[in-house]
Structure 1
């Protein structure tokens, strides 16, 4: 039976630079890269070397901790560079792409006619398995586990986030095929969560083998962690898997077309672009040509792969993150401001009434990266609780992580959260605490303790 969830606590951050709903299909980029750091807890082992020719779907490396999990090339071409960091850690596997993508052929099949084991094997050998992640820990799902449920958030409430109803339109067949494959992987339900008071795409409303739930409220209502917490909370020892809508389409194409088609429609957004819009591309693409086409403004800019709240900083000629469907470009905040917080702040964002901008609540802001201060004592202010819509004490959880109290972390709900769930807490924090880093530290501690 479907559920209706109303999220009351949170915050919608209105920014300049929303993507116009026009999809631009540029010629395929020259270079692509798969970055092992996009995968939490991964220790990669290379299967290719510089000069190797690959097809889309050719394995590039595998996880040393689980050799079944392969990471495959999203395009065909030649391996031109293995970028390494300190202690020879693999940072990027770069591919010089062919002008037309050639795919490794996989078997076409109807997921409804396959066993769970056969579906898992198809997902593993094709490199599609890493699109399935799990809570707790936010890691790639373990194929030997059986989750109690699978969650798909059909909407994204992050600032300037892509509209999934627009992105998924016309992909109903592949989306349903992906659902059919995922249904075989769990003994429980597939929860497909849509935004209430909206008109979801037919791919969502007409989906079979799912429980469609309606969710309303401000960000982070679209976060899968918030949805899990309110619909099917995670207790110790339980596992929930989750997949993004566009990744469900990739799974579906594997079975309907027999290829690893890592195509992705991304929203290129932000105040530092003249023409923010959507682009049809492939996972791991270089964003250099995309930013040029979108009209990157001159100046000192911050380019982010993902949301402004929880994305990763990349160079202007860097590569799209494996799970990202958004590029955000904002100004760097490396300039001093006259009078600082003493000014009226008509153009500044504030959650409180510190600035007169509260008189124009619908105004869109042009935020930069300036922290407006340095880290201060971590004290109780009540700010976190205003934007954190889970029945968890966020400040107490963060402090239990800082002292590495495992028992207290468990009691305070560490299994239910991930970094993105604390992004708003980090935004509104007057103490400038790096909440997302602390949460990742806590999750890593728990994962190592119980692995």
Structure 2
């Protein structure tokens, strides 16, 4: 069954006018270290099963969720636990692994996952359960929860994102095996959200539905798909998952081996050869891009962003859910000049946000049928009740990146949204 969905595209909205990456996959440079990041796991309180200095194997559990010990977080590669750093309230900041050569891989063997119980047990034990994110709240789902629907994001977030159809070449059978497995986890639909082309979910049954969205930033985000097809609220929960994680699930079922590789696009004005590269979740970005940085025209340093220029974050490590690495000129130390475009706006200090001026751009960028100004004011003052009533439960930080860019206040509404969502999650 195929759904054709019309979703708002941001008109004339460009954040990076550098060359798009060549849609050919190369192997990325070897990385010496990888990391599991607390920034990807809001609300998690880890219980460690390893210590600094321990030698660990790929797929070995490193820690679990203290609230749900069944949820394991495992090593993407073999190596030595280099460091474990904690944040506020003993939350995880980063667990760093110094990568060592892999031992011989075990012989592939098909895993029993023909029932929902078998599949859940496998995903929880093998470290793929964190592939799912809940709406509302954007957290790893509890092991015993059944979503009302599951959304597979197989759309390109923007012109510099990997083309999912290129990434899936040669892996369609594993992807389809993963899609069929997802249908065991919900009694509702599984939406395979994609851009134009042949339906990658065709022939998999009534509950696995191909849904098409036009290319563009907002229309490439899971929040837009969920808002258009299956809105959530206080009593409705859906899960989202990226298409590469669906491939990993299918691969695990067919081979018994968890795949933590990731194809990401390398792009931006400082990228020497914009292209797609295969690396590992949590890869050290300095190792990954060391030979791919163009010199700055004015001698400026490079700013390395995990994710896109709009929705990503300056980082030393590849985020768990990111599929882009963007190399920008680092202008943080330079005085912004009026009219220098999106980058100057992105760097604008926001410790004392200015007033919110109603504009048509605000309404266009939000795109959730929500009155923009009252909603942003509620986020600005931390009014969780009003923000919830106006629709924040459908959103995550990435959904507000464009709003932050065009709003006259200069505020980071993604950060404000996270504070409100965490408060609402604690009260749920």
Would the TM-score normalized by the shorter structure come out above 0.5?
yes
Match of 1:415 among 393, 414, 421: 393
Mapped to 1, the partners of 2:28 and 2:358 lie a distance apart of 50
What per-residue deviation string (whole Å, max 9, x for no partner) do you get for residues 284-312 of structure 1? 11122321232343532211111211212
Q: How far does residue 126 in structure 1 lie from its aligned partner after superposition?
A: 0.6
Task: Go from structure 1 to structure 2 and tell me whether the alpha carbon gap of 1:166 and 1:204 turns closer, same or farther (over 3 Å shift).
Answer: farther
Mapped to 2, the partners of 1:185 and 1:252 lie a distance apart of 14
Q: How far does residue 438 in structure 1 lie from its aligned partner after superposition?
A: 1.3
How big is the alpha-carbon RMSD for the aligned residues of Structure 1 and Structure 2?
2.5
Mapped to 2, the partners of 1:191 and 1:64 lie a distance apart of 31
Task: Go from structure 1 to structure 2 and tell me whether the alpha carbon gap of 1:34 and 1:173 turns closer, same or farther (over 3 Å shift).
Answer: same
Task: Go from structure 1 to structure 2 and tell me whether the alpha carbon gap of 1:159 and 1:442 turns closer, same or farther (over 3 Å shift).
Answer: farther
Q: How far does residue 124 in structure 1 lie from its aligned partner after superposition?
A: 0.3
Mapped to 1, the partners of 2:30 and 2:323 lie a distance apart of 17
Give yes or no for contact 1:193–1:213 (8 Å, CA) kept in 2: yes
Moved more, 156-165 or 419-428: 156-165
Give yes or no for contact 1:148–1:188 (8 Å, CA) kept in 2: yes
Alignment of 1:114-263 (within 5 A): 114-158=114-158, 160-195=160-195, 198-200=196-198, 203-204=200-201, 210-216=208-214, 218-263=216-261
Give yes or no for contact 2:23–2:162 (8 Å, CA) kept in 1: no
Q: What corresponds to 2:36 in structure 1?
A: 34
Match of 2:71 among 69, 89, 110: 69
Give yes or no for contact 2:346–2:405 (8 Å, CA) kept in 1: no
Q: Structure 2: where are the runs of 5+ without partners? A: none
Match of 1:53 among 52, 55, 63: 55
Task: Go from structure 1 to structure 2 and tell me whether the alpha carbon gap of 1:442 and 1:90 turns closer, same or farther (over 3 Å shift).
Answer: closer
Q: What corresponds to 1:322 in structure 2?
A: 320
Q: Structure 1: where are the runs of 5+ without partners? A: 351-365
Pair 1:434-2:412 in alignment: yes
Mapped to 2, the partners of 1:21 and 1:44 lie a distance apart of 38
Moved more, 92-101 or 165-174: 92-101
What per-residue deviation string (whole Å, max 9, x for no partner) do you get for residues 411-439 of structure 1? 21121111111111111112212111111
Mapped to 2, the partners of 1:8 and 1:229 lie a distance apart of 11
Provide the secondary structure at the position in 2 that maps to 1:212.
Answer: strand
Q: How far does residue 223 in structure 1 lie from its aligned partner after superposition?
A: 0.7
Mapped to 2, the partners of 1:206 and 1:266 lie a distance apart of 29
Match of 1:283 among 266, 281, 284: 281
* Number of equivalent positions: 420
Q: What corresponds to 1:371 in structure 2?
A: 348
